[in-house]
Structure 1
């Protein structure tokens, strides 16, 4: 067949492995290593479209679109070859999805030469090799924030050491020092999926905090309460008056004379109250002192999935018409969703930094919107998280460790995650195939498909917006963000394969799979690879003692309404998408 991985027709042969579709070019010397093969992970496929030759003039093409917004057109010399490729690809995608996580390419690659070189023993250090799994050390990270030194108000609890307390939480949770494990054992019953409020960030300037949880189980009448949950949140909101030594933001106006603690419910108000049919909902503020509550109105995973699918459709239409319909892009509301998220980020940043206060963030179960709204403010508040290693720590801490459901949201175990579309032809068989496809769409997708959503990609898009507004404040460049989008949907590393730290431990991922950070940092030196470095980065701008009219102490305030299409990710020119 012919393929177009380089933007022009290229003769070659097609090979299908258990995990990849491989196109080998005929016009390249096999002894060279100059891009003679194109490897497409099957997990990276978004759609496969078969178009009858009568509509295109080409012999039975297949059009492949990937989740990192590349398009490949495969043209075959015969209908029989096209049939074989279509049927085999469809069957292999289904087999891969039903094979479980251990069937993924991450487990098929050799990770270590011996089991003894696995987790926690300094594997490879004697050989001068860095290990991506060691990027995040929970105790070192919270010590860096000042826990145990500048603040004695917090402690680690091992109540979840065996993941029985909360299966989707990390083994080590940071809670107020004055709250006992006994109190936690009662408070846990009041939070959906047992996801109690846990600390994720202590602010360097004033020891304000960001904590995260799931929604409270307030009962169908919305009046159920938990004294233990109320005590836990009160302890959080009074934490920086307990044995703490906080610096003060260097502003002419001293903020925070009156605490402005906030409980942020990321959902639209109606969605929060709709959860009452499950006995859940939102906090009754009569029972929570010295704080207020704000709803952010950020839509759920179903709305976000539909929104990005609309972007895919608009880009696909542009390939056939030759013109990108910006009105169609606007109708997806993708940029509006980013604005809503960044509006919430700004509330958190101002509350913590300017008002010397604390924020508790939750949505429903606390692993989607909550992860966005806990991680993004930290990126703005702490320059460390704008370094490459700090960014890796942030993702490991707030996404991987705190149980974002990567397997579900990326559709790793979803049989219908790849959309196979057989366009209408003139013969009866193609018409039947088309009608079957339409019937499936109207009948509804599987439960697994309905759990898919580009939540983490949306987070990376928000990072892109901050990075674009503050181009000198990031050690890493936009290319790293695109790389992480690809790795989110790919299955070559173990980092983004699982729903929780517990699942990762059960399958011994640290010793059996590679970390995504092995692809970001040089394995010999541990430094950021050159292709991901930002040459405009100026860390001196983040000095909190810098004397300048534009000094900001290293805290960046993002403009939530200055959002643009991430044209580099979508493979388009800036002018074409943003005008």
Structure 2
């Protein structure tokens, strides 16, 4: 708090970039964690985390005041006009100090507290285990084994404790190879294909112009022998060849083909972190252009080269995936093995393994490739004060590569775009301890699992927000990214040709949801994914309600049928003289069921494998005569529902507990709590009243009596109180 010199400034104007209306005027508040702008006239609040701020700039003075331009790592660009230059200078100084603390333990995650009622601090930290992931791959123990050489991080302090290496590799071979590799990152397995071809990763060798290492060469031979398909090993160097040759002058470089037998080398030409940082900066400048001409935007986007760089990452991953499909093991590395290597290995596994395209599998992949095997998140994201040359959007580019794949294959990913955006936002927010530090050892030393919350726990509690409504499990299982895939069966006039990630550059899209997310004037009125999710949830709710109604109708028909068989008039039994076609139909059904039961009993009695002693017990197990011809369809699937003593009040409650009509997403502009609902907001429906609310107002889960499955449904606070009126009363 000592860095805050001016906690509040009034009469601050917010410059509207894409609107003809006059600038908003409000108050600017500076707290220990956020910069808050309150527009009192429009009832709008804008909260910016200090850790999200990437730069604060002072623009030339104007007649109305001193402009401050704030850009964030989530690609928000806001310009505030502060009336007094002194207040602007105080804000400028305070924000520059608070957006990047000097000590990593001063980050927001070490102070953030949700409360035990919403989520325990330990929830989510034990969701994923690297050993369980390798067990899922069915790694053959005769070829690969888990070594404990790195249990204290002595072999490589940026690798995980548990490493899978060839069983034939001796300890001396592993230690020697580690000393020959940059940062000690020796070749280890990160994924095994179903055909037993292995995907390995490492860093560049310390070969210089002529140095060699016998232990490193022997480790290559062990990897080759562990593959039952072929003896050839493919080494993929993700750098441009000229960059790898330049590293030789620094005593590093790449492997010599003369020293490694049965090895094929290839370069994929992905540029380094400095080129990527400059490229993304040009994209941000293009999005901030004052000119609204499409030609200026397209020229700026093409000049940045960002989409071209993203395509090079996807092409490299596709090459690795195809090589593994052919049965050859692959070893991937770049310079230090934690930037381009993680990008290519992660994308290749998404292309090959359907599990990594699911909600849980995608998080497990991030844990393994980026967190366990080390990526300099704190340096690359600029969490604390570091060398600006170390900052680079490596993980952002990887998330965009995944998004590009989702655009090509929308039916095979269980998660949606919002999951990618949420992970990206919380990478920079430092609200959770998941991405703090540069490797697993750093997070253990900081005790983040004890002091901070896990992002995976937060995502698990909000899972419904991140599910893709177009996802189809069978399509995911049979999808092969390495070959052109036909789309789902569509009408002949709208059918599309087979597609593959190796598409021409013009098929790659600009990710408007990431880089222009906050510019409401550039988006349609609603998100298509939100509309699809809303329709799917509504249909699921209605289908569940219809099943209950059918069950109740069958019960009432059965009851009326029983009453019709033995009617009572003035307390005396009388014969039924009515000729009702429905009763005749049911009578015919009863006769058919009785006949079917008799035939089944006959088949059981005459079966040659059943003796006389067990025939009756077997017959009882096979057939059981129902009391109603349609009872099989009701009680068999929903045995937990009792229909005894159902009253009119119960039926009325069931009918009124489900909203048949849901409000349209298109007309929703504001939540009842006054939270604006724009393109980036996730709009949710209350299952009981059908109203639209923000995520914060729709966190209650209840089992509505109008659903036959009694599944947990989200309801607003008003409906929650209506469902539990007694529990909401004051104890007094």
Give TM-score scaled by structure 1 length.
0.79
Alpha-carbon distance, 1:28 to partner: 7.7
With 565-574 and 290-299 compared, the bigger mean Cα shift is at: 565-574
Q: 8 Å contact 2:202–2:331 — kept in the other structure?
A: yes
Alpha-carbon distance, 1:112 to partner: 8.0
| Corresponding residue of 2:464 | 530
Matched, 1:314 2:291: no
| Corresponding residue of 2:35 | 21
Matched, 1:169 2:159: yes
| Corresponding residue of 2:86 | 80
Secondary structure of the residue aligned to 1:317 is coil
Q: 8 Å contact 1:494–1:514 — kept in the other structure?
A: yes
Matched, 1:326 2:298: yes
Q: 8 Å contact 1:305–1:454 — kept in the other structure?
A: yes
With 65-74 and 476-485 compared, the bigger mean Cα shift is at: 65-74
Quickly say closer, same or farther: Cα 1:361–1:38, change in 2 above 3 A: same
Q: How does 1:53-202 map to 2 (within 5 A)?
A: 53-54=61-62, 58-93=64-99, 96-98=100-102, 100-110=103-113, 131-148=123-140, 152-202=142-192
CA distance in 2, matches of 1:110, 1:154: 43
CA distance in 1, matches of 2:503, 2:144: 32
Secondary structure of the residue aligned to 2:471 is coil
Matched, 1:216 2:205: yes
Q: 8 Å contact 1:156–1:175 — kept in the other structure?
A: yes
| Corresponding residue of 2:655 | none
Q: 8 Å contact 2:122–2:454 — kept in the other structure?
A: no
Quickly say closer, same or farther: Cα 1:497–1:280, change in 2 above 3 A: same
Q: 8 Å contact 2:354–2:477 — kept in the other structure?
A: no
Matched, 1:467 2:396: no
CA distance in 1, matches of 2:114, 2:167: 40
CA distance in 2, matches of 1:400, 1:500: 6
Q: 8 Å contact 1:135–1:389 — kept in the other structure?
A: no
Alpha-carbon distance, 1:314 to partner: 1.5
CA distance in 2, matches of 1:574, 1:376: 29
Q: 8 Å contact 2:39–2:45 — kept in the other structure?
A: yes
Q: 8 Å contact 1:192–1:215 — kept in the other structure?
A: yes
Quickly say closer, same or farther: Cα 1:223–1:79, change in 2 above 3 A: closer
Quickly say closer, same or farther: Cα 1:266–1:17, change in 2 above 3 A: same
CA distance in 1, matches of 2:42, 2:384: 36
Q: 8 Å contact 2:185–2:337 — kept in the other structure?
A: yes
Quickly say closer, same or farther: Cα 1:97–1:322, change in 2 above 3 A: farther
Secondary structure of the residue aligned to 1:106 is helix
CA distance in 2, matches of 1:211, 1:318: 47
Secondary structure of the residue aligned to 1:531 is helix
Give the superposed CA RMSD: 2.8
| Corresponding residue of 2:515 | 570
Q: How does 1:401-480 map to 2 (within 5 A)?
A: 401-414=372-385, 448-480=387-419
| Corresponding residue of 2:724 | none
| Corresponding residue of 2:212 | 225
| Corresponding residue of 1:38 | 46
Q: 8 Å contact 1:212–1:360 — kept in the other structure?
A: yes
Quickly say closer, same or farther: Cα 1:43–1:376, change in 2 above 3 A: same
Q: 8 Å contact 2:227–2:329 — kept in the other structure?
A: no
| Corresponding residue of 2:432 | 493
Structure 1: give runs of 5+ residues left out of the alignment: 30-35, 114-122, 242-255, 416-447, 523-527
CA distance in 2, matches of 1:373, 1:349: 9
Q: 8 Å contact 1:380–1:557 — kept in the other structure?
A: no
| Corresponding residue of 2:250 | 278
Matched, 1:294 2:232: no
Alpha-carbon distance, 1:321 to partner: 8.0
Deviations 1:54-77 (A, max 9, x none): 3xx643232222121122232333
CA distance in 1, matches of 2:514, 2:296: 15
| Corresponding residue of 2:445 | 506
CA distance in 2, matches of 1:208, 1:279: 32
CA distance in 2, matches of 1:504, 1:87: 31
Q: 8 Å contact 2:122–2:449 — kept in the other structure?
A: no
With 162-171 and 449-458 compared, the bigger mean Cα shift is at: 162-171
Secondary structure of the residue aligned to 1:299 is coil
| Corresponding residue of 1:305 | 277
| Corresponding residue of 1:481 | 420
Quickly say closer, same or farther: Cα 1:226–1:345, change in 2 above 3 A: same
Quickly say closer, same or farther: Cα 1:224–1:87, change in 2 above 3 A: closer
Quickly say closer, same or farther: Cα 1:236–1:334, change in 2 above 3 A: same
Structure 2: give runs of 5+ residues left out of the alignment: 1-11, 488-498, 525-732
Alpha-carbon distance, 1:24 to partner: 3.4
Matched, 1:203 2:190: no
Quickly say closer, same or farther: Cα 1:369–1:162, change in 2 above 3 A: same
Quickly say closer, same or farther: Cα 1:545–1:321, change in 2 above 3 A: closer
CA distance in 1, matches of 2:339, 2:172: 28
| Corresponding residue of 2:346 | 375
Alpha-carbon distance, 1:132 to partner: 2.1
Secondary structure of the residue aligned to 1:147 is coil
Deviations 1:166-203 (A, max 9, x none): 11111111111121323211221111110001111011
Q: 8 Å contact 1:111–1:511 — kept in the other structure?
A: no
Matched, 1:52 2:31: no
CA distance in 2, matches of 1:545, 1:193: 37
Runs of 4+ in 1 over 6 A off after TM superposition: 4-8, 319-323
Secondary structure of the residue aligned to 1:400 is helix
Alpha-carbon distance, 1:563 to partner: 1.7
Secondary structure of the residue aligned to 2:69 is strand
Q: 8 Å contact 1:211–1:360 — kept in the other structure?
A: yes
Secondary structure of the residue aligned to 2:434 is coil
CA distance in 2, matches of 1:269, 1:362: 13
Q: State the structure with more CA Rg.
A: 2
Alpha-carbon distance, 1:260 to partner: 5.2
Deviations 1:251-293 (A, max 9, x none): xxxxx6x665310011111111111122111011122222200
Give TM-score scaled by structure 2 length.
0.63
Alpha-carbon distance, 1:560 to partner: 4.8
Secondary structure of the residue aligned to 1:345 is helix
Deviations 1:439-495 (A, max 9, x none): xxxxxxxxx101110000010111111111101110111111112221222211111
